[in-house]
Chains A and B, each alone.
Chain A
Amino acid sequence: MAELTSRLAIDAQGVARRFGARWVLRGISLQVRPGETVGLLGANGSGKSTLLRILATLLRASSGRAMISGHDVSTDADAVRGTIGFLAHSPGLYDDLTARENLAFAVAMLGIKPITIDATLERVGLSAVANERVRGFSAGMQRRLALGRMMLAKPRVLLLDEPFSNLDVAGISLMSSVIGESVRDGGAALAVLHELAPAAGLINRTVTIADGRIAA
């Protein structure tokens, strides 16, 4: 059993979370295996993003247990952070830094080689605006840069909150391609989605959350 758990990319067991008196998650159990991309569906306020944030160590579960690649999200959070790539709904970039400087900051924080910056900018199609401040970027460009920042550390488990929002056709293709490459290399992805269409060729299965529980 322990061996099976350590092989899972994501293993959530009875994860619950309440805000004040309101239970947002009421015991979610969910497993994602390496090589798998799972779409997380549900109405607004159903708890999808809350589950993602718990898995990303940004929020503590009120009860239950969650493991990422064998690391407990509450007791081994630093190891989890070294394993995941988290793409939040907000890109979380520094407006007064350039695209290159945003990535340089991430590189310094991650302790990886700076030579990856140019390759990353090229990959997300932002080489031409590498030295421009992010303040002037469109929402889609910011999304691309946030994707590039997330992929700098080559994370094994991707946690994606509405990854296709604000992206044009080329951006959607890029996002799909980057997620697909990561998963084919043995990674795994859990993506909160509002519509399945952009992710149709990418998703292996879907899980629907309703009223804080797995519905399907």
Chain B
Amino acid sequence: MSWGDDFRRVRAIAWKDLTTERRSKAGFNSVAALGVTILVLFGFALGPDTRALHDAAPGALWLAVLFAGVLAFNRSYQVEIETGALEPLLLYPGARWTIFTGKLLANLAFVGLMLVLVVLVGLVLFQVSVPDTWPLLIGVLVLGTVGIVTLGTFYAAMASRSRAREVLLPLLLFPMLVPVLLAAMEASKALLVGDLMHEVGAWVQLLIAFDVIFLIATHLAFEYVIEV
């Protein structure tokens, strides 16, 4: 198997996941609706205090992405589990990591789209103005999303064989995501509210390290977690 073969398999899986999601419609609508609902509920909980809304905006945004993302991660294997398509998928000859990469790319597109929606709603709802450092903020959003989606896609594979997968996935995933969530929230807050302690660089470095380590580790370990 050459790199060209691996790339073709990755592309096929990402296309298949995105096409089935696009056609089923229920997937993106429910995930996006949950993300927006969480933001609205945070808004109600914080009340009309503009300062409190400002300060809480990064945390609310990332938690909305996380909770809605869990729905998306569960769905990424649900189609295969429900239709029995996982076995044919595992029987294609070739590297198993390509299945993971394909699903990861599809989830990144899916959660990325949801993130855009959540950020737009969050900006309006929490009365946050776009900072001058918006390119860096986009970079933080991308790094945080890559970290969450990488581990989410991996643990969803691990939980997919369990009948209690909807409960198991958050139990496995949330503790592992503490570093990336903390770094993403703090970096976003520093960029939106003001970086008085000049700490953005350190949080971004942590995000990059987390993403690199877990992108490599999950690709290496995927073959073992998907083994029947």
Whole-angstrom distance between the Cβ of A154 and the nearest chain B Cβ: 13
Interface centre among A53, A57, A79, A94 (most CB of B within 10 A): A94
A188 to chain B, nearest CB (A): 17
- Point out the residues of chain A lying under 8 angstroms from B11, CB to CB: 108
Question: Residue-by-residue, is A84-106 near B (CB-CB < 8 Å gives 1, otherwise 0)?
Answer: 10101011111111000100011
Task: Report if B127 contacts A (CB, 8 A).
Answer: no
Q: A96-B19, A97-B16, A101-B19 are in contact. Are A109 and B94 (CB under 8 A)?
A: yes
B contact patch SS: helix
Asked if A109 and B84 make an inter-chain contact with CB atoms under 8 angstroms apart, the answer reads no
A59-B228, A96-B19 given as contacts; is B9 within 8 A of A109 (CB)?
A: yes
State whether B85 touches A92 (Cβ < 8 A).
yes
Q: How large is the interface on B (under 10, 10 to 19, 20 to 34, 35 or more residues)?
A: 20 to 34
Task: Out of A82, A90, A92, name the residue touching B93 (CB < 8 Å).
Answer: A82
> Which chain A residues lie closer than 8 Å to B19 at the CB level?
96-97, 101
- Docked CA distance A106–B9 (Å): 10
Judge whether B12 is part of the interface by a CB distance below 8 angstroms: yes
Interface centre among B16, B20, B94 (most CB of A within 10 A): B16
A–B complex contacts, Cβ < 8 Å, 26 sampled: A58-B87, A81-B92, A81-B93, A82-B93, A86-B88, A88-B87, A90-B83, A90-B84, A90-B87, A91-B83, A91-B84, A92-B87, A92-B89, A94-B20, A94-B83, A95-B20, A96-B20, A97-B20, A97-B23, A101-B19, A105-B16, A108-B8, A110-B92, A110-B93, A111-B9, A133-B23
